[in-house]
Chain A
Amino acid sequence: MKFVNCPLIGKRALSEFTYGGVVKSEPDLESVTDREWAQFVFYRHSDPQIQFEWWYHRPTGIWFVFERDTLTDRIESIRMAQKGAVNDA
């Protein structure tokens, strides 16, 4: 089993977490065009890379942001998600 060291809650099994997808930059909802919205919702470059991801810790209900390499599965850093700060997590 794989374990991760998180701020506040310490060492936890990865199986306690749910993956929430890659952190994206949400466009301004007032002025967004259909095309820009599709770009935001669907399209991206998903080749192997180090990316920021949402991870939900089910037992405590805390959302974390993992910096993870999608080629090696190595987690580079973990921090708690900031309330209200969607775009820069």
Chain B
Amino acid sequence: MPLRLLKYAWKKPEEELRFFPSEKPLKQSYDAVIIGGGGHGMACAYYLAKEHGITNVAVLEQGYIGGGNTGRNTTIVRSNYLTSEGVKFYDASLKLFEDLSEDFDLNIFYSTRGHFTLAHTDSAMRTMRWRAEVNKHHGIRSDVVDVETIQKDIPYMNVECNGQHPVMGALYHEPGAVARHDAVAWGYARGAQLRGVEIHQKTQVTGIQTQGGKVVGVQTNRGDIQTNKVISMVAGSTPRITRMLDIPTPIEVFPLQACVTEPVKPFMNTIVVSGSLHVYVSQSSRGELVMGASVDPAELHSTRSTLDFVEGLTDQMMDLFPFTSRLKIMRQWAGMSDITPDFAPIMGKTPVEGFYLDSGWGTWGFKATPISGKTMAHTVAHDQVHELIKPFALDRFENFKLVGEKGAASVGH
């Protein structure tokens, strides 16, 4: 290691491959253009180049790499969903996550912690049993556990919950993990660049050109580009992109807020979620409590944060972990969640030929990063929807074939 450090010190800055590429002019045309330089966009570019040999690709990002929801989530990865479609999809994602550090030659701090979804009512217990059985059917380690087991694993938790809504049991999901979200986007971005993909930051798409129902180009604030394939992977900005092509969707955007406390001594190794209390919490490797709640009450295209959120969240947190009343909130922030009526994503082809959609990521987008990149890359390369994402087609709503993924977000649904 010291030798490597010494070599690094003698290098000029431009010799070392950078995660954030320097600005360069846009080419006139690309084989494919990806809108959105977050985890999903970078993963799609990475797999297009690595698995399908399509490298003449531009990723256009209006801000900076991973500056949207990729850097705003609470980094939880799990696959204990309710529907078969969801379980298969997220399990494939989790398996990809496990190998990412090696794939990238970059430590993404993937840390398998175990994941408790607490139940405070009989009906919640019934849902936990349902989810456990669906999970087991697909070979995923999920079990219903009793209060004693929970208390043993998380001794600092008040399972009585202040006497108002005592914990009755939980769904324990052993593979539940956390990862460093920025590193996931950076790793994919670096891997894609190494294979020839161009990443353009501060490049905003202002229009998409079509001819006879087919995509022919993209307009940006830095000039026009010719391309026959455009993939929109912009999460909370999806309605602005679909508006350009006049494609109506069932997506509505709600802010989702999160916050972290000051760092404290490690006391909790697992991820804890309570749907009834609308909280989820894990302790980061720095010791901070990373906490989130359900989405804000009304539609809003903004990343503002509110005191109402912190008040509501901490009120519930203190029922579960009374000692947190002494902790200070260090930071709070928000992301724009593109929520769908059935809490499953919208992926694949659209009525406009050459325009592919990866959206509807609501509160479940980060954990799907690798698999959405992989399946979307397959869909674009072969112009044929990948088997895993067929149930998530945009037209499922007009065909009344909703997915009904109530286990989607940890809380609030």
Check B252 against A46 for contact (C-beta < 8 Å). Answer: yes
Q: Give CA–CA (A68, B298) in the complex, Å.
A: 11
Q: A1-B308, A43-B249 are in contact. Are A35 and B398 (CB under 8 A)?
A: yes
> Does any Cβ of A come within 8 Å of B250's Cβ?
yes
Q: Give CA–CA (A73, B248) in the complex, Å.
A: 22
> B294-315: contact bitstring with A at CB < 8 Å (1 yes, 0 no)?
0001111110100110000000
Contacts of A19 in B (CB 8 A): 297-299
User: Which chain B residues numbered 142 to 192 have a C-beta less than 8 Å away from chain A?
Assistant: none
Contacts of B240 in A (CB 8 A): 47-48
Q: A35-B398, A38-B400 are in contact. Are A45 and B301 (CB under 8 A)?
A: no
Contacts of A38 in B (CB 8 A): 397-400
B255 to chain A, nearest CB (A): 10
Decide if the interface of chain B is mainly helix, strand, loop or mixed: loop
> Does any Cβ of B come within 8 Å of A85's Cβ?
no
Contact of B243 among A41, A45, A73 (CB under 8 A): A45
Contacts of B29 in A (CB 8 A): none
> Does any Cβ of B come within 8 Å of A82's Cβ?
no
Q: Give CA–CA (A47, B341) in the complex, Å.
A: 16
> Does any Cβ of B come within 8 Å of A5's Cβ?
no
Most buried by B among A38, A45, A46, A48: A46
> Does any Cβ of A come within 8 Å of B86's Cβ?
no
Contacts of B275 in A (CB 8 A): none
Q: Give CA–CA (A71, B304) in the complex, Å.
A: 11
Q: Give CA–CA (A34, B397) in the complex, Å.
A: 11
Contacts of B250 in A (CB 8 A): 42-44
Most buried by A among B239, B240, B304, B341: B239
Q: Give CA–CA (A17, B145) in the complex, Å.
A: 38
Q: Give CA–CA (A22, B239) in the complex, Å.
A: 15
Interface size on B (CB < 8 Å)?
25
Check A39 against B252 for contact (C-beta < 8 Å). Answer: no
Name the CB-closest residue of A to B395.
Answer: A38
> Does any Cβ of A come within 8 Å of B205's Cβ?
no
Q: A15-B308, A71-B302 are in contact. Are A42 and B398 (CB under 8 A)?
A: yes
Check A46 against B397 for contact (C-beta < 8 Å). Answer: no
Check A39 against B398 for contact (C-beta < 8 Å). Answer: yes
User: Which chain A residues numbered 12 to 55 have a C-beta less than 8 Å away from chain B?
Assistant: 15, 18-19, 22, 34-35, 38-39, 41-48, 53
Check A45 against B400 for contact (C-beta < 8 Å). Answer: no
Name the CB-closest residue of A to B296.
Answer: A19
Check A44 against B248 for contact (C-beta < 8 Å). Answer: yes
> Does any Cβ of B come within 8 Å of A70's Cβ?
yes
Check B249 against A46 for contact (C-beta < 8 Å). Answer: yes
Q: Give CA–CA (A73, B243) in the complex, Å.
A: 20
Check B248 against A43 for contact (C-beta < 8 Å). Answer: yes
Most buried by A among B239, B297, B298, B399: B298
B297 to chain A, nearest CB (A): 5
In addition to A45-B248, A47-B240, A71-B302, 16 A-B residue pairs with Cβ atoms within 8 Å of each other are: A1-B307, A15-B308, A19-B298, A22-B299, A35-B398, A41-B397, A42-B397, A42-B398, A44-B252, A45-B246, A46-B239, A46-B251, A46-B252, A47-B239, A53-B298, A72-B302
Give 14 A-B contacts (CB < 8 Å), ordered by A residue: A22-B299, A34-B398, A38-B398, A41-B397, A42-B250, A42-B397, A44-B249, A45-B246, A45-B248, A47-B243, A70-B299, A70-B300, A72-B302, A73-B300
Residues of chain A having any CB pair with chain B under 8 Å: 1, 15, 18-19, 22, 34-35, 38-39, 41-48, 53, 68, 70-73
Q: Which 5 A-B residue pairs are closest in the complex by CB-CB distance? A: A43-B248, A42-B250, A19-B298, A38-B398, A47-B239
Residues of chain B having any CB pair with chain A under 8 Å: 239-240, 242-243, 246, 248-253, 297-302, 304, 307-308, 341, 397-400
